[in-house]
Each structure stands twice: as structure tokens, then as C-alpha cells.
Chains A and B, each alone.
Chain A
Amino acid sequence: MKIALIGQPNCGKSTIFNSAAGYRVATANFPGTTVQLAWSPVRLNGSVVQLVDVPGIYSLTSTNAAESAAKKFLLNESVDLIINVLDASLLSRSLELTLELRELGIPMVVCLNMMDEAARKGAAVSSERLAALLGLPVMETVASRGVGIRELFAQVLRQLDSPPAPSEFLAWHRDIESEVADMQLLLETDARRQKLPSRFLAVKLLENDEDVAQDVGPKIARAALQLREQLEQTHGRSAEWVIMSERHDRAMRLSEESTTLSRPRPNFRAALDNLLTHPLWGYVFLILILVLFFWAVFGLGSLIERAVDGRIALLSAAVLTHFGQNTLARALAQSLLDGFQGGAGIVLPYLLPFLFGLAILEDVGYLPRVAYLMDGLLHRIGLHGTSMLPIVLGYGCSVPACMATRILPSRRDRFIASVLATLVPCSARSTVIFALVAFYLGPMWALGIFCFNALVVIISGWVLARMWPEISPGMVLEVPRYQWPTFNVLTRKVWLRLREFVVLSWPLLIAGSLVLGLATYWNLDHYVNAAFSPLTRLLGLPIVLGTTLIFGVLRKELALIMLTEALGTNAVAHVLTPVQIVVFTVFITFYIPCLATLVALVKEIGKKMTALAAAYTFALATAMGLAARFILPLLLSR
């Protein structure tokens, strides 16, 4: 049994999915947060059903990769029931998709989400009236606060096996209806049986839908072309637009019939938006917000690190006294403890506030405003504002950032945006920057590295855009309302992302520490270091850091932990010069994306492009490391 959550982008599908299935997919306040299907078994009244979270679609005509994946799923997999989620405050537009879905003939429950937002806008939507007009059950919810979810799923159970009731109200103009009927008749008499209802197919053929047109025989295709031409002649516009307007018109009338409007409540959000998208103050606030973000993350992080690290060091010293000098047992215990300490004492203190801050920025809905503000600048380098979303998400983790490029319509934009997103320091690399550079050299240095990175990203974007000149479709991006993030959702989202570190990279880190500990015990690390010595020598780094570079490809945080491990001390500043710290950090920040990102990249842009991207980042990292090595001393000596 498959139940699919379908609706327009940013209407709260994933929030409903999470409240039924536990927090499993990340939610955020911008269109296109979900770019792939998510499945979860859910227990409904004793029986187990598969609940599917589908990427948002504006209509069944797809304009990007995420949307066409959603459409393919809907048309090819036999879905047993559709929960059509609507943003009640954007009723008319949302209903256009409902009308399209209705023709699939699949049992359907309409979920009017964000009822509180509609009320704030002064729109009182009557779900009874809408249900009567649509011939479908309509449920009201406020998913962000969990209101009405139980009732929604109770209705879902009742509605299984009952397809949409016919509705007089939704009939189109007579001449269009008769063309659809002609097409339907042809399809029904055709030898090839179709899985989908004939009315749906007939309408889609008249709309000249590429996906549907592929599946029909030449006879049907010819007939469809004829009928389309007929429509075009009588209406003076292409058939696609005739049908689209018809749907638009019905949706408009539906929303007018079921809504009573009153004065909207005054809200401060319009005033806030005026300030944050202001031609001057918008940029001032953008910089202020980013500086505040880094300051808060570093402040909190170093506070936690100081509190935790010392205690763990004491603890491990206490444990180590039980082992004799220079024994294998001691080496093992030491590396185990180091791995544990690296995670708890160095990575977690910075990762936690970082993820929390990013979650707040995402949920408030500030990111699309950043895209809006940056579009003009990005145009100078040959990209457009929508590319900014994946790039900003790259500050969290490169993997979802690469996947988020699916909301971009052109292949070329996707390639450039995903390469740039991997160049941006992700939370793991930010941890390296905070824990090494900010901790030992001061927060201004860290900020400097972030700014330098941004500059390199911009220049890379500029170069890449020129290597592949192409006219890309302009930016069209819905800018959502601001939303007050709820603490509950924030903590669960942070945990979702933190869990990845705790269950995946921390064990890896401890294992890596163990491997390095053993290798040192048996003096094997010399070979690895020797193999990497051309690179480390070139960058002016101690030879012992060669091993850390391998671990850096596995996970970027590992490089940091392995650094302390390889140097044999936590007091990095005693062993490395400030320039060496900066060179190491810069190199780690830019060089080959981590393993998980490489896998994601192969999936998004293909093997060849990934190899190209890896080579590019490696060359870039070496160049930047060299630049830091030779230019920094000049700056420092002045």
C-alpha cells in the first residue's frame, strides 16, 4: 500500500511526513528542500502502509530534475492514495495542481495546510464548501504545530479505495470538453491498453506533454496533433495554453467560492522584508547576519571546547597511567582515547552550534532572500541567484548541496553550482577552520579564511561559467514568507544531521586513530609520509602530515584529528608556525571533496565531470596552499 504526499513546493509535505514517520527528512523554509523521494513505513490503525514524501511540483509539467522525478513516480508506480497538500494561503494557485491530480482517478485526500497563515492573510477557507465543489474530502491542518494530522490520517483510511467523485462544477467549456471526449474515445478504442485513465491521457496529449506522447502509437499521436491544431485555430493560442488557462480559471473560481476575505492582520514581516531586501540595508544586514553567525558559532564552540577538552584530557591521562611505557596496549589505548577526544573535544563543540545556526537560517526563510540579493552579483560571473541556494547549503554539508542542484533547470548550471558547492567549506571543514585557525590564531584569521574562500569560489564560478558559455534560463524563484522556527523542529533537525557524525564519522575517526596509532607503533607511517613528501614539502608542511591528507579524503574532520595524532600533541601551536597552520587549513578546505561528496557528485553530474571537478579542486588547493605559504609571510613581516 503506497500513500504519496504531493503538493507544490514549500507547502509542508515533508513536515507532515515527519510528523507521521518521525523526523526522517530535513525540512526548511524554501521551495525545493526535498529533491528526492523518501519512503517510510507508517502504522495506520493496525495496518502498515508506505508513506512517500515526493519533491514539490507546481504542476504535472516538469521544469527541473526534481520535478520530473516526482512526476515519473506518480505516473509509473501504482500509488494507492494521494494526500494532496495545499498551502491554504495560496489556495488558487495550489488548486491548479489538485485539478490535474484529480484526473488520475486515484483516491485522494486534500490537506489544507497552513490554515493559520491563511487566517493571518484574512482568508477564511471553508473546507466543507471546497470539499463539496471538488468532490474530494478536505482536511485542515497546521503541520508545523501538529494540528489536524491525526484527523488527516483517519480520513486517509476512510478514503482508501474510493476514487474522486465526479463534479459538475469542474467541467470545462463545452468545445474543449468535446475535444477531450474525442481524444478519449480514440484512446479507448486503441489496441494498446493504458494504465492511466483515458481522460488524464487525453488532456495530457492535448497539452502536448512529452512524457505521455512517447508512450502512444503513431495513430494516436497524429490524431492528437490534429485536435491540437483545431483548438489552436478556434482559440488563437497553443493548445497547451488553452488547457492551462481553463484549469487556472476553474481553480480561481473554486478558491473564490470557498473563501471569504476580510482585512488582513497587520504583520511585521512585511516591514522586516522591506528592510532585509532593501537595496542598501539588505546587504548591510546580510553581512551583519553572516558575521554574527560566525561570531556566535566560534564563541559558543570555543566555550564548549575549553569546558570539555580539559576534562577529557585529564580523564585519558588517568586511564593511561594504568599502562606500561612503550607497550602495544598503551599505543592502542592512547589512539582509542585520542579518537574519542577528537570527536567530543574538538569536532562536536563547533559542529553543534554551527548546525543549530544553519537550521535557524533555513527555517526562518532567509536563504531565498540571499539568493535574491546575490542574483545581480552572480549574473556578473555568469550564474543566477537560484544557484546561490545549493552554494549556501554547501556550508552545511556538500552532499545535500550537490543534490539541491536538481532544482536548477539547466545542466550547465547544475555542474557549476555543484562544483562551487563543494568548494565552500562544509560544517566539517568549518570545524577545522574554527578549531585550528580561530583557536590558535584568533577569530579574525578564521573570518579571513572564509572571506578568501568566498573570493576563490566567486573567481572559480567566473572561470567555469566562461569555459562553458551558455544562455541559461533566468532566475524564477518563489520567495517564501518568514516563519518563526519552532524549537522542537530545530533540535530534531540538528540531531538528524549530527547523528551522521556520531554514528558514521566518529567510529571512523576512532578506527582511523587506531590505524595510525598502530602504524606509528610499527613505524609504518614513514612510507605513507614518504609517498606524500613531495606535496608536503612543496607546501612547507612537516612531513608527518602526509598521513592526515589520506584521512582527509575520507572525511574532512579526520584530517584535523589526525593532525594532532600525527604531531603527537594537542598543542598544535608549539609545533606548527602560524603560516603552516593556515597553509594546512587552506589546503584541506579546497582539496578533493570527501568520499561521500564524490559519490553524490558522480550521481549528479557523472563520472567524467566528477573526475574533472576533483582534479580542479586538487590543483586549486595546491595553488592556494602555495599562495598562502609564500604570500602570508610577506604580509606578516610588514
Chain B
Amino acid sequence: MVMATKLQQAQWRLMFNSLFAFWTGPRQGKLRGGAHKRPAPPTALSLYQAASGQQVEVLQIIAGQTATRQLAQLGIRAGSRLAIQRCAPLGGPILVESAGSTVAIGRGLARKVSVKILP
């Protein structure tokens, strides 16, 4: 009988763990489908932490190229000002107003946008 290689075993374990992750709870460092598990950049405040009704200025966006471009195309880049309209429950997205249009940003991505709150 052919023994499974160490790599295969690790893959199976990963798959098994991720299948039951809903039960055992998310584990740090484990790859989860669709989730954005990169650690948040060490900044004072992320867009994720801002509350609805606040005005913020974007300081920095540390995310993948596609996401950064998508945000920039919608007017969200370093230096732009946003008005936070709503934060959805259940870890849902954040609704912000940017240059006259409303944009929904997933929470995972919002974590990678560092902002400062404007008075």
C-alpha cells in the first residue's frame, strides 16, 4: 500500500479542519475559504473600526493590487475623505460615501484601510 506523503496528510488535515471550522471556530493561521485572514496592519485606526456617521480621511491602504486598484477607481485612496454611512451586522460590509457615490466595502478589506477620524 502506498503511504500518503506528509504533504498530502497536511492537505487533508487542512481540508478536514476547514470543513468543521464553523463548529470549532476560526483558527488563527489556518486558511479559510473566502475569508481574509491576513493580519490587520498595525495602525491606530482601520476603516473597520470607524463608526457610522463619522467623517474620515484615508491614510494608507495595504491590500492586494486588484483591491487597491478597485478602491482607487472608486475614489478611495490615500488622502480621500469618506463619510461612513452604515456598518452591516454579522461582520458585514461598511457603506461609505466617497466623492458623491456610495460604495460597499467588505469588512476584511476595510481592515486594511487605515484612516484618521476628522472632527
A binds B: yes
Binding site for B on A (CB under 8 A): 58-59, 61, 63, 89-90, 92-93, 121, 241, 244-245, 248, 277-280, 282, 368, 371-373, 375-377, 379-385, 409, 413, 462, 465-481
Do B102 and A479 touch (CB < 8 A)? yes
Do A474 and B33 touch (CB < 8 A)? no
User: Can you spell out 11 A-B residue pairs with CB atoms less than 8 angstroms apart?
Assistant: A89-B100, A92-B99, A92-B100, A244-B72, A375-B104, A379-B34, A379-B107, A379-B108, A467-B15, A473-B109, A476-B109
Do B32 and A382 touch (CB < 8 A)? yes
Q: Verify if B23 is at the interface (C-beta below 8 Å from A).
A: no
In whole Å, how far is B67's beta carbon from the nearest beta carbon of chain A? 5
Residue in contact with A93 in the complex, picked from B63, B89, B99, CB distance below 8 Å: B99
Do A478 and B93 touch (CB < 8 A)? no
Residue in contact with A470 in the complex, picked from B34, B72, B74, B101, CB distance below 8 Å: B34
Do B74 and A478 touch (CB < 8 A)? yes
Residue in contact with A277 in the complex, picked from B31, B38, B74, B86, CB distance below 8 Å: B86
Do B93 and A372 touch (CB < 8 A)? yes
Question: Once the chains are docked, how many angstroms separate the CA of A382 from the CA of B31?
Answer: 11
Q: Verify if B25 is at the interface (C-beta below 8 Å from A).
A: no
Residue of B nearest to A476 (CB): B70
Do B101 and A471 touch (CB < 8 A)? no
Do A475 and B90 touch (CB < 8 A)? no
Question: Once the chains are docked, how many angstroms separate the CA of A245 from the CA of B75?
Answer: 10
Measured between beta carbons, the chain B residues less than 8 angstroms from A244 are: 72, 77
Measured between beta carbons, the chain B residues less than 8 angstroms from A473 are: 63-64, 66-67, 70, 109
In whole Å, how far is A529's beta carbon from the nearest beta carbon of chain B? 40
Which residue, of B33, B35, B75, B92, has the highest number of chain A Cβ atoms within 10 A?
A: B33
In whole Å, how far is A8's beta carbon from the nearest beta carbon of chain B? 8
Do A476 and B74 touch (CB < 8 A)? yes
Question: Once the chains are docked, how many angstroms separate the CA of A371 from the CA of B106?
Answer: 11
Question: Once the chains are docked, how many angstroms separate the CA of A472 from the CA of B32?
Answer: 10
**CB contact list, B78-93 vs A, under 8 A:** 85-93
Which residue, of B19, B35, B37, B104, has the highest number of chain A Cβ atoms within 10 A?
A: B104
Task: Bin chain B's interface residue count.
Answer: 35 or more
Do A475 and B34 touch (CB < 8 A)? no
Residue of B nearest to A371 (CB): B104
Residue in contact with B106 in the complex, picked from A92, A377, A409, A474, CB distance below 8 Å: A474
Question: Once the chains are docked, how many angstroms separate the CA of A74 from the CA of B81?
Answer: 32
Question: Once the chains are docked, how many angstroms separate the CA of A385 from the CA of B103?
Answer: 12
A59 touching B109 in the complex, CB below 8 Å, given contacts A279-B89, A375-B104, A469-B18: no
Do B38 and A471 touch (CB < 8 A)? yes
**CB contact list, B2-41 vs A, under 8 A:** 14-15, 18-19, 22, 31-38
Question: Once the chains are docked, how many angstroms separate the CA of A379 from the CA of B71?
Answer: 20
Residue of B nearest to A409 (CB): B66
Measured between beta carbons, the chain B residues less than 8 angstroms from A89 are: 100
**CB contact list, B47-71 vs A, under 8 A:** 63-64, 66-67, 69-71
Do B104 and A477 touch (CB < 8 A)? yes
A376 touching B90 in the complex, CB below 8 Å, given contacts A90-B99, A382-B32: yes
Do A469 and B31 touch (CB < 8 A)? yes
Do A471 and B37 touch (CB < 8 A)? yes
Question: Once the chains are docked, how many angstroms separate the CA of A475 from the CA of B88?
Answer: 13
Measured between beta carbons, the chain A residues less than 8 angstroms from B109 are: 473-476
Measured between beta carbons, the chain B residues less than 8 angstroms from A481 are: 102
Measured between beta carbons, the chain A residues less than 8 angstroms from B85 are: 277
Measured between beta carbons, the chain A residues less than 8 angstroms from B37 are: 471
Question: Once the chains are docked, how many angstroms separate the CA of A287 from the CA of B104?
Answer: 21
Residue of A nearest to B79 (CB): A245
Do B33 and A382 touch (CB < 8 A)? yes
Measured between beta carbons, the chain B residues less than 8 angstroms from A248 are: 77
Residue of A nearest to B14 (CB): A469
Do A121 and B70 touch (CB < 8 A)? no
Residue in contact with A384 in the complex, picked from B32, B90, B106, CB distance below 8 Å: B106
Measured between beta carbons, the chain A residues less than 8 angstroms from B74 are: 58, 93, 476, 478
Residue in contact with A383 in the complex, picked from B34, B71, B90, CB distance below 8 Å: B34
Do B32 and A376 touch (CB < 8 A)? no
Question: Once the chains are docked, how many angstroms separate the CA of A58 from the CA of B74?
Answer: 8
Residue of A nearest to B111 (CB): A474
A476 touching B71 in the complex, CB below 8 Å, given contacts A375-B93, A376-B88, A385-B106: yes
Q: Verify if B95 is at the interface (C-beta below 8 Å from A).
A: yes
Measured between beta carbons, the chain A residues less than 8 angstroms from B69 are: 61, 63
Question: Once the chains are docked, how many angstroms separate the CA of A288 from the CA of B22?
Answer: 29
In whole Å, how far is B11's beta carbon from the nearest beta carbon of chain A? 10
Measured between beta carbons, the chain A residues less than 8 angstroms from B34 are: 379, 381-384, 413, 465, 469-472
In whole Å, how far is A504's beta carbon from the nearest beta carbon of chain B? 36
Measured between beta carbons, the chain A residues less than 8 angstroms from B36 are: 471, 474
A373 touching B92 in the complex, CB below 8 Å, given contacts A466-B19, A474-B109: yes
A379 touching B106 in the complex, CB below 8 Å, given contacts A373-B88, A471-B38: yes
Measured between beta carbons, the chain B residues less than 8 angstroms from A480 are: 102
Measured between beta carbons, the chain B residues less than 8 angstroms from A472 are: 34
Measured between beta carbons, the chain B residues less than 8 angstroms from A92 are: 75, 99-100
Measured between beta carbons, the chain B residues less than 8 angstroms from A93 are: 74-75, 99-101
Measured between beta carbons, the chain A residues less than 8 angstroms from B102 are: 478-481
Residue in contact with B95 in the complex, picked from A58, A121, A277, A381, CB distance below 8 Å: A277
For the complex with contacts A61-B69, A476-B70, A477-B104, 7 further pairs of A-B residues with Cβ separation under 8 Å are A58-B70, A278-B86, A279-B86, A279-B87, A375-B106, A472-B34, A478-B104
Measured between beta carbons, the chain A residues less than 8 angstroms from B89 are: 279-280, 376
Measured between beta carbons, the chain B residues less than 8 angstroms from A470 are: 33-34
In whole Å, how far is B53's beta carbon from the nearest beta carbon of chain A? 11
In whole Å, how far is A308's beta carbon from the nearest beta carbon of chain B? 43
In whole Å, how far is A139's beta carbon from the nearest beta carbon of chain B? 21
Measured between beta carbons, the chain A residues less than 8 angstroms from B32 are: 382, 469
Question: Once the chains are docked, how many angstroms separate the CA of A467 from the CA of B99?
Answer: 39
Do A63 and B100 touch (CB < 8 A)? no
Do B103 and A476 touch (CB < 8 A)? yes
In whole Å, how far is A276's beta carbon from the nearest beta carbon of chain B? 10
In whole Å, how far is B93's beta carbon from the nearest beta carbon of chain A? 5
Residue of B nearest to A118 (CB): B100
Measured between beta carbons, the chain A residues less than 8 angstroms from B117 are: none
Residue of A nearest to B97 (CB): A479
Measured between beta carbons, the chain A residues less than 8 angstroms from B38 are: 471
A476 touching B99 in the complex, CB below 8 Å, given contacts A465-B34, A466-B15: no
